[in-house]
């Protein structure tokens, strides 16, 4: 007997359960909507399963390995530091499982219906959700698309056991002796640094003149200094040409300075960007407009050209950041519920978990000038911060960008220890419309890395205490 495919009706359907999708689903449910979320993969998406979280766990394990080798300057000597990499991977898996099971509990607690399967649009109010066994029709009043992105594959470097994307690099069962990283962006720099800390001989091939595109030169210099200290060989203006694989490793061919070169390694990691997952959804069935990069076009409320369909995260314009996706997810859910929310990206930070960390929020000095502002850039070095000195981690600086006319805080760049945490205060200052004086008058705990923000604010006011 054939059972009919009777449509299931929902208020809001969320397609994709990553940090954009699951946040959107929870916020939509909190506003009283009947919500279903669908994903063919695991809850938490790339970020929780094979991206942000496992990479930071691996980076932390790398830092601990480096620290375990001791520091003669501090009088600490160690011998025979060993790493059981299977245990590292086991611990990383526990971190991931804890967070993904937490997401499942949050969705259930907010009465969001979770469906596993591939989504295909039939029309502007209907989708089919398919798994291995069946196809089910869902009708919705509104839909939020949050399908994320996948690593770009270079034709001459097809992914395999030895040619890795970021997921493959996170799931190795051994510490490589040698690794080549193609692409010196934030993913390549983070994972290259992690393995260098484990003792891997790392070579980074970057096609442009500089690694970490998008960050100021002075920030990159701090990271490049540390990479050199770790023995990482960074080759810029190097064009990767091809790879020969064997059972035991790879030979990577590249061209630099007009010469063809070859490097032998155990693995090659390809990190040349990500592409949006906007294919095979049936978006053409609905007439949803894409740009020439395959990104979905949206307005200030995350709405596509189809008025009841929204898009967020890596599939829309802007940096592929988990916290950007979560922010947009809240906006879309609130707009559907009738609130007058809209996106404002100025306060969204970008972070690289390099060594030391880099973080930026709001305007850079040049970006502010390009936008027509007269600004003051006020710098404070970590070398003059008591906490950084006690951590023996003094490379880098905090730079505060303020508007000349009134001291309004409109941006900051941090290169140094815990930059990912330090930047949060400036993000709040931008969102709250605070001035350098407001920050300077805020009492900061001593000794702390956060004092660098207060000190930079003092510099902005022309009254620095701990620097000339």
**C-beta separation of 135 from 302 below 8 A:** no
**C-beta separation of 147 from 136 below 8 A:** no
With CA atoms as reference, report the closest residue to 202 among 172, 178, 183: 178
With CA atoms as reference, report the closest residue to 364 among 396, 399, 393, 335: 399
Rounded to the nearest angstrom, the gap between the alpha carbon of residue 31 and the centroid of all alpha carbons in its chain is 28
Structure tokens at 100: 């993904």
Q: 400 φ, ψ to 5°?
A: -100, 135
Segments in 376-417 forming alpha helices (H) = 386-390
Q: Over the range 256-273, which residues count as b (16 or more CB within 10 Å of their CB) and which as e? A: beeeeeebebbbbbbbbe
With CA atoms as reference, report the closest residue to 233 among 167, 176, 184: 184
With CA atoms as reference, report the closest residue to 438 among 406, 465, 467: 406
With CA atoms as reference, report the closest residue to 65 among 195, 189, 226, 234: 195
For CA atoms 231, 232, 235, 241, give the dihedral sign: positive
**Between the CA of residue 165 and those of 17, 45, 159, what are the distances in Å?**
21, 16, 7
For CA atoms 443, 449, 450, 455, give the dihedral sign: positive
Structure tokens at 379: 């710098």
Helix (H) or strand (E) holding 22: helix 21-30
DSSP tally for the chain: helices H, then strands E: 14, 24
**Secondary structure class of 111 (helix, strand, coil):** coil
Ranges assigned E (strand) in 87-200: 113-116, 118-123, 126-130, 135-145, 149-151, 163-164, 178-182
**Secondary structure class of 315 (helix, strand, coil):** helix
Alpha-carbon Rg for the chain, nearest whole angstrom, is 24
Distance, CA of 184 to CA of 272 (rounded, Å): 8
Q: Which of 63, 67, 446, 466 is catalytic?
A: 446
DSSP 147-169: --EEEPPBTTB---SSEE-HHHH
**Residues β-bridged to residue 15:** 38, 145
Q: Is 323 a catalytic residue?
A: no
**Residues β-bridged to residue 337:** none
Which residues have a catalytic role annotated?
A: 446
């Amino acid at each position: 007997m054939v059972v009919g495919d009777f449509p299931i009706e929902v208020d809001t359907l969320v397609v994709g359960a990553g940090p954009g999708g699951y946040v959107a689903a929870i916020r939509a449910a909190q506003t009283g909507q009947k919500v279903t979320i669908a994903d063919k993969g695991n809850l938490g998406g790339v970020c929780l399963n094979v991206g942000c979280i496992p990479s930071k766990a691996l980076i932390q394990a790398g830092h601990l390995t480096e620290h375990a080798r001791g520091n003669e300057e501090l009088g600490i000597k160690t011998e025979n530091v060993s790493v059981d990499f299977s245990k590292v991977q086991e611990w990383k898996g526990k971190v991931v499982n804890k967070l993904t099971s937490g997401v499942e509990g949050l969705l259930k607690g907010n009465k969001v219906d979770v469906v596993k399967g591939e989504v295909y649009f039939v029309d502007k109010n209907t989708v089919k959700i398919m798994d291995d066994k069946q196809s089910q029709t869902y009708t919705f009043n509104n839909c939020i698309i949050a399908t994320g992105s996948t690593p770009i594959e270079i034709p001459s470097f097809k992914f395999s056991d030895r040619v890795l994307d970021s997921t493959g690099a996170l799931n190795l069962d051994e510490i490589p002796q040698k690794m080549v990283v193609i692409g010196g962006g934030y993913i390549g720099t983070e994972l290259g640094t992690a393995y260098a800390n484990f003792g891997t001989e790392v070579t980074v091939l970057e096609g442009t003149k500089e690694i970490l595109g998008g960050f100021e030169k002075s920030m990159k210099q701090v990271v490049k200094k540390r990479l050199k200290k770790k023995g990482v060989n960074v080759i810029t203006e190097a064009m990767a040409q091809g790879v020969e694989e064997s059972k035991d490793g790879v030979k990577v061919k590249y061209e630099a300075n007009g010469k063809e070169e070859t490097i032998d390694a155990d693995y090659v990691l390809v990190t040349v960007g990500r592409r949006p997952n906007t294919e095979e959804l049936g978006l053409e069935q609905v007439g949803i407009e894409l740009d020439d990069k395959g990104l979905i076009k949206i307005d200030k409320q995350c709405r596509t050209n189809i008025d009841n369909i929204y898009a967020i995260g890596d599939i829309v314009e802007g940096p592929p950041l988990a916290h950007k996706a979560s922010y947009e997810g809240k906006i879309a859910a609130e707009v559907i519920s009738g609130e007058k929310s809209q996106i404002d990206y100025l306060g969204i930070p970008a972070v690289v978990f390099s060594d030391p960390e880099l973080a930026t929020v709001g305007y850079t000095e040049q970006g502010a000038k390009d936008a027509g502002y007269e600004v003051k850039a006020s710098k404070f070095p970590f070398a003059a911060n008591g906490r950084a000195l006690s951590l023996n981690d003094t490379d880098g600086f905090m730079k505060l960008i303020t508007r000349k006319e009134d001291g309004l805080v409109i941006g900051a760049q941090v290169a140094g220890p815990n930059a990912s945490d330090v930047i949060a205060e400036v993000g709040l200052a931008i969102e709250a419309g605070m001035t350098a004086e407001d920050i300077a008058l805020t009492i900061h705990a001593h000794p702390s890395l956060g004092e660098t923000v207060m000190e930079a604010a003092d510099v902005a006011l022309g009254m620095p205490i701990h620097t000339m």
